[in-house]
Amino acid sequence: MGKKCIICGEEATFCIKGTSDYYCQECAEENFADISVLQKVEEEAQRLKEVIKERMKEKQDTDADEENIKEDI
């Protein structure tokens, strides 16, 4: 979503885990023999969403226990 391939500028489908290097499907396949080192942008977004959801849930679960939340941050 809004991420562009760093090679051709097309909308990116993949990113390298832990970096902000983004690639479209084509460039990813051209540049990486093994695209399993790459992460789908969608999956990354989905993962982040899950993390946020977990955080929200944790916050609700431990609402009475403010100390835990502060440690988490």
The two structure tokens encoding residue 59:
């916050």
Interacting stretch for Zn ion, rule CB under 5 A, among 14-22, 25-33, 43-51, 64-72? 25-33
Helix, strand or coil for residue 18? coil
Of 34, 27, 32, nearest to 10 by C-alpha is 27
Interacting stretch for Zn ion, rule CB under 5 A, among 9-17, 30-38, 40-48, 57-65? 9-17
Selected binder of Zn ion within 13, 14, 22, 27 (CB under 5 A): 27
Q: Is residue 8 part of the contact set for Zn ion (CB under 5 A)?
A: yes
